[in-house]
Chains A and B, each alone.
Chain A
Amino acid sequence: MNDEGPAGRALPSAGRLLDDDAVELRLPATTHQIPLVRVLAQAVAARADYGLDAIADAKMAVDEACAQVVGSASPEAAMTCRFTVSPAGIRFSVETVTGNPRPPSERSFGWHVLTTLAANAEVRCVPDPGGGYLLTLGIDLRREARG
């Protein structure tokens, strides 16, 4: 598998079960695909019984996170989106391969939007053994909407 992360966070092979509380979606890293991730975000947040504000914020945050990652992704790269549900809330991460060693700026309007809508936003970019860099962006989708 060439889509294994260097930090040992390997993508599961088809035969292996995910954790009970994790949902993953792997799709082309293009703008066109982002609405699919948004639909999944809506469903996951609703199932976790988030308030309607928080569901809407989660959708927009996931939208923004994916847009940031897609903006840097190498042509024809895939992105892997993962929702991990715990009693504390939902952690969302999106990962792709990029030729750019620098992660997206944390001073852009998009980043401001992201940190208004979600907590603990983290982005990192590390060399990928398969060539290029592995870009990962993670956010906590808040259970309670906050202004």
Chain B
Amino acid sequence: MNRPSPVRHRDEYPHTVPLFEELDGLPEDDPRRTALRARLVTEFLPVAEHIAARFTGRGEPREDLVQVARIGLINAIDRFAPSRGSDFLSFAVPTIMGELRRHFRDTGWSVRVPRRLKELHLALSRGSGELAQSLGRAPTPTELAEHLGLDLADVHEGLLAGHAYRPLSVDKPVHDEAEPLVLADTLGEEDPEIGHIEDHEALRPLLRALPPRERAIVVMRFFGGLTQTQIADRVGISQMHVSRLLANTLEQLREQLAGEP
């Protein structure tokens, strides 16, 4: 590039510049790419966490936001082209924020829900994560009520409020097709044994077209024999988040298999 990159000196991560250049210079199938990529992800994790922190307090569990921000970071690393002359952070920050906004758009409260219910739902999400750790399975409403010192009726109400999270299918956003298929590698996707399904020929391309995380979750649940809590544990998001992603993805697959747009 003959144009100098004037912003680079403001980069707080000067030592990563040669790493990006090295990554950019390696062929797609070079085994060194994986290690370099992992190194870069690790270096920039604090950035993802910092941005995620700016989105807390809006009714989404912090762990989910951090996870979403990390996905944004990985996307940014995979899409960044140092030869274009901009510095990584000025490219990564909007990418990560975009991923977080997309998360809120995908899973955000679709109707107005009183603040008390949002907070209740958040407490339930946190509590169920803690209990799943100690019980090794998803807790029941009774166990949640005891754990959080809440009325059982409030727990029921809070769980129902979680419904408002699901956007209606009519305004379901179109997934970003440019999302790279990198996460599937880190998720240990099982080879789907879908041959016995009669519409598998229609199903396979639809599964392949899913964003990697959604595809991995569907495969783990329906072809890998894992429960939602086990999947949540593997993917590093809450069970409630897995549940929402699964339900949305199934609905999408059902519409597509039925030949609807």
Contact = CB atoms under 8 A, between A and B. Distances in A.
Interface in B166-185: 166, 168
Contacts of B138: 51-54, 145
Contacts of A43: 156, 160
Interface stretch (B54-62, B70-78, B224-232): B224-232
Contacts of A144: 137
Contacts of A51: 137-140
Interface string B204-248: 000000000000000001101111111000000001100100110
Nearest to A38: B163
A57 B228 contact: yes
Interface stretch (A2-10, A107-115, A120-128, A131-139): A107-115
Interface stretch (A18-26, A60-68, A76-84, A85-93): A60-68
A53 B137 contact: yes
A52 B139 contact: yes
A144 B205 CA distance: 32
Interface residues of B, number: 42
Interface stretch (B8-16, B95-103, B192-200): B192-200
B148 interface: no
B156 A112 contact: no
A146 B230 CA distance: 10
B254 A53 contact: no
A46 B153 CA distance: 10
Contacts of A49: 140-142
B203 interface: yes
B250 interface: yes
A109 B228 contact: no
A110 to B, nearest CB: 6
Given A52-B239, A109-B257, A63 B247 contact: yes
A66 to B, nearest CB: 11
Interface of A: 35, 38-39, 42-43, 46-47, 49-57, 59-60, 63-64, 67, 71, 105, 107-110, 112-113, 116, 144-147
6 contacts: A38-B163, A46-B156, A63-B247, A63-B251, A71-B258, A145-B137
* Cβ-closest 5 pairs across A and B: A147-B225, A53-B138, A56-B243, A52-B138, A51-B138
